[in-house]
Amino acid sequence: MQIPFEPQLFGYNINIHLVLEYLAFFLAFRYYVILRRKSKDHISSNNRLSIILGAALGALIGSRVVGILENPVFEWSQQNIVQLLNAKTIMGGLFGGLLGVELAKKYIGETQSSGDLFVFPIILGIFIGRIGCFLSGINEFTYGKETAFFTGMDLGDGVLRHPTSLYELVFLVLLFFGLKRLQNSPSLINGDLFKWFMILYFGFRFCIEFLKPNVFYAFGLSTIQILCIICVFYYNKFIFQKLKHAR
């Protein structure tokens, strides 16, 4: 199979990344519905719907804002405007969704933690989306730097690069089963699972960004890495609490 993978249907090229992106949303939501049916949700259906809407709106805004900041365009032209409208990133979506949920819960007066039910559906959605990123090769700005390491792959430009999407797929599998095991821990309280997911995933993304050919930096870090640091600070009380408990 050649990368970028561009299948044809009735003579038309299929955007495999877009197809898998929509599939990721659909399957992740279905997985969430199944998990909610099997678990005892302490949040009412009306409040849960408000939380989902808050998460969706926050994710939409966050993914676009961070996507634009990741590759800022300063010259106004038709091509650049289209680029701005299409710019999005899962990292901004996750953090924006988190803020959207917190605002929605504050508005409706919900005090119960609501994130644990979303953890495994989110991991599934990211996993499917990353398959699309890998198959798109250099057509998606998720590829890695040139490398002589044995994992180097030609992603469509004749250069051996770090297949960072594959690295992330491996990490997501380990994260999924690791959190599944942690889920059964008696010391885990409601809301902890989602916090661990955010800390571990954002920590991974901070590290893997060093393998990507980012073009815009602030303070020597990419926009994604700065967002990862903000996320860690957001959960600093939780992190210090767990470290204190571990000691």
Give pLDDT tens digits for 44-63: 777 878 888 888 888 888 88
Residues 6 or more apart in contact with residue 202 via CB below 8 angstroms: 91, 94, 227, 228, 231, 232
Q: What are 240's two structure tokens?
A: 């210090």
- Dihedral of the alpha carbons of 178, 183, 187, 192, in degrees to the nearest 10: 90
Domain range list for the chain: 8-42+112-246
pLDDT recorded at residue 157: 83
pLDDT at 246: 63
- The per-residue pLDDT for 196 is 93
Q: Which residues of 126-159 are buried (b: 16+ CB within 10 A; e: fewer)?
A: bbbbbbbbbbbbbbbbbbbeeeeeeebbebbeee
H/E run at residue 238: helix 236-246
**Paired residues of 146 in beta bridges:** 161
For the chain, give the percent of residues with pLDDT over 70.
89
Mean per-residue pLDDT, 154-167? 89
Helix pair 119-136, 164-183: axis angle to 10 deg? 170
What tens digit of pLDDT does each residue of 1-39 get? 677 777 777 777 778 888 888 899 899 999 988 988 887
